[in-house]
Structure 1
Amino acid sequence: MMYYRPLVRHGETRPEGALPLAGGSLWFSEVELLSREAPPRIVPVGLVPAEVRHRLTFRRAAIAGLDMTRPKIMGILNATPDSFSDGGRHIGVAAGVEAAQRMVAEGADMLDIGGESTRPGAAFVPEEEEIARTIPVIAAIRATSDVPISIDTRKAAVAMDALEAGAQLVNDVSGFTYDAALAPLAAQAGAPVCVMHSQGDPETMQKDPRYDHVLLDVYDYLEKQVDRLEATGILRDQIVVDPGIGFGKTQAHNLSLIKGLSLFHGLGCPILLGVSRKRFIGDIGQEPQADKRAPGSIAVALAGVAKGVQMLRVHDVAETAQALRLWQATR
């Protein structure tokens, strides 16, 4: 099997035959051919099959009302006591609403609200507790704001209550493998979804994760899950894919995925990149304290934007928004 990774470029001057990436302002005129049997090689876009070219180039549909031709910022709002960098800061309705208002003012295009920590080693949270942590916050935000809201959950009961309270997108870190009822629920509700790759669950995922070829293995997994979600009744253009940086991956795995991110455009879906404050950023950037990793997080986020990523899931909204405005201005 061949895989086609567009070599993404920017700028107004383009070579003859260059194609737009995902309907946006970035473009490519060459692709890297990847396979499990042969070394990589670079070929012109003219040698790419028509179906693959279509998936790489067509304009992505709006997600929860957000235009996917320009990168969007998803602000992280963890209503948990034990998330790795902000646990305990947003517990309760008042704290959650205050954080939401601040992030929207700082430039968040969407809020991602979760009630179960997914940090390495995190314990399972019963759905009743997850509902109690998240639903009142979602309802209170929706009462005063029309900002798009994502519910970060792997449980159908939580997602159902969240959608009824005003959430619009279901973001499942298990890739819709944990609860068989979740995908049909999203399909019935007509809600867009984000499907993420993870090897193992939060309690075990960092215990010696291994891959044959991490970039291609993650691509194959996401392709299979996108096809399954489509079969459930969710439109492909309403599916966001997330390679799951830090979820069952070593530092080397994470870097390989980030370097090869543009491969995932071949799925024909918007790409979400969630790297904010993660451990590999602290290790490489030599910053042990998670809430001081904004510079490293922004550096990786912009590397993703340069490869055409449509969504950035971040803690540091104001700093990321400022960096993104400058990145766009210089291009």
Structure 2
Amino acid sequence: MRRYYTSACNFYYGKYSKFLVNKRETLPLHGKNNISFSHIKIISRNSEKIISIKKIDSLPEKIKIQIKNDLKNIIKKKKNFSNLKFNETNIMGVLNLTPDSFSDGGKFNNLNSGYNQALKLCKSGARIIDVGGESTRPGSKTIDASKEWSRISKILDKLKKFNTSLDTRKSIIMEKGIKKKVNLINDVSGLEFDQNSIKILIKYKTPFVLQHSQGDPQNMQKNPKYQNVILDIYDYFEKKIKFLKQNGINHNNIILDPGIGFGKNLKHNLSILKNISLYHSLGFPILLGISRKRFIKEISGINDSMERIGGTVSSSLFAIMRGVQILRVHDVNEIKQSVKVFDKLLNS
């Protein structure tokens, strides 16, 4: 377990950011001059300290080495994969082919409605479609692989020309999906539900999302506990990535997802969102699944709504301002609209 963690902070945007980078007053995030930072937060399990990037060399030698290694990951340009472009915001459209998903269960669980929804998501600006045949909402039960596959196999055939992600925890579904040309595997269990999943990813060298979750869908929201949620998740990612590399994953086509709502209460979710830039120091693109999540209801109270678009938009824009590269959402058109307007305002 590491003693110190590095988080970029005090961000600048657009033309002013480019000006400051050129003046060497700030460092670019992901090699992008239009978003940069002038300070870092040095975090331990007992303290936090914010310092200017100009004062890093004055740190004690052991801390300085760790911080500089983290900074290399924070500022390096991310390599594109799975038809995603990590120098801009990517929208992942949600396509649940289930009868029981938490917000859209039963809406798209036949071939025609599912395909039409995929077309709509793509036309609205989704760069990748995340196809799922098993609900993992809080309280949901595992279904057998044959039922899950029966829900998604035909539509995957129709979506072969699309850029697709497969939302599954089962290795047999992963392999069948990969053979149908899916571009990314998105396993909410962090590859822990099925021990064969890693073997499949090694065999096909398929990019994947590594998500953090605590518990399983049936019990994950029953009093989740952490010593320090943001650092516990960081340690999980660091340890898991090292394990995967040692066990045959020899590529860096990995996306990190801290798993909003997967074994986290409101306080945990807010802490993750507020400190999301911490995970840039791991050196991988970050995905956030915040669309229509319960934390929006818990914050908004009487202003809650069925689709929770307002809360999804606001948290999405906050994430973009912290350099998050992928947003997993249901309402692609509305989020794309907000991102376009937001980018125009920041960069004009």
With the shorter chain as reference, the TM-score category is over 0.9
Structure 1 Cα separation of the partners of residues 129 and 249 of structure 2: 22
Deviations 1:87-134 (A, max 9, x none): 011112212111100110111110001111111000111111111111
**1:24-73 per-position Cα deviation (integer Å, ceiling 9, x unaligned):** 23111211111012x21101225253321111111111120221110100
**1:114: which partner in 2?**
132
Structure 2 counterparts to residues 233-272 of structure 1, below 5 A = 233-235=248-250, 237-272=252-287
Alignment check: 8 A CA contact 2:296 2:304 kept: no
2:81 corresponds in structure 1 to 63
Is 2:11 aligned against 1:2? no
- Measure, in 2, the Cα distance between the counterparts of 1:262 and 1:2: 15
Q: Residue 86 of structure 1: which of 83, 98, 104 is its match?
A: 104
Whole-angstrom distance in 2 between the partners of 1:27 and 1:233: 35
Q: Does 1:74 align with 2:95?
A: no
* SS of residue matched to 1:286: helix
1:20 counterpart (21, 28, 31) = 28
Please name the residue that 1:31 is paired with: 40
What's the % identity of the aligned pairs?
Answer: 37
Tell me, yes or no, if structure 1 residue 45 matches structure 2 residue 53: yes
Other structure's SS at 1:262 match: helix
Over the aligned positions, Cα root-mean-square deviation in angstroms equals: 1.5
**Partner-residue secondary structure (3-state), 1:163:** helix
1:45–1:236: structure 2 CA closer, same or farther, 3 Å change rule? farther
Distance 2:304 2:314 in 1: 17
Cα distance between partner residues in 2 of 1:178 and 1:290: 33
Kept after mapping to 1: 8 A contact 2:214/2:220: yes
2:205 to 190, 200, 213: 190
Describe the SS at the equivalent of 1:6: strand
Aligned to 2:237: 222
Give, as a single letter, the amino acid of the residue that structure 2 aligns with 1:104.
C
Contact 1:22–1:57 (CA<8 Å) still a contact in 2? yes
Which residue matches 1:302? 317
Unmatched segments (≥5 aa) in structure 1: none
Change (3 A) 1:226 1:108: same
Cα deviation, residue 233, structure 1 = 3.3
**Partners of 1:80 and 1:133 within 8 A in 2:** yes
AA at the equivalent of 1:35: S
Output the TM-score relative to the length of structure 2: 0.91
- CA offsets, 1:231-283, max 9 Å, x none? 33334530000000001001010000000000000110000011100111012
Contact 2:290 2:315 in 1 (8 A): yes
Distance apart, 1:287 and its partner CA:
5.7
Q: Which residue of 2 aligns with 1:156?
A: 171
- For residues 160 and 168 of structure 1, the distance between their equivalents in structure 2, rounded to whole angstroms, comes to 12
User: Which one has the largest radius of gyration?
Assistant: 2
The CA distance in 2 between the partners of 1:105 and 1:323, in whole Å, is 16
Cα drift, residue 286 of structure 1: 2.6
Counterpart of 1:275 in structure 2 is 290
1:283 counterpart SS class: helix
Q: Which amino acid aligns with 1:309?
A: V
CA–CA distance in 2 between the matches of 1:131 and 1:16?
53
- How far apart in 2 are the matches of 1:153 and 1:295? 28
Q: For residue 59 of structure 2, what is the aligned residue in structure 1? A: none
Q: Distance in 2 between matches of 1:42 and 1:182?
A: 40
Deviations 1:183-236 (A, max 9, x none): 221122121100111010000000000111111011111111222222333345
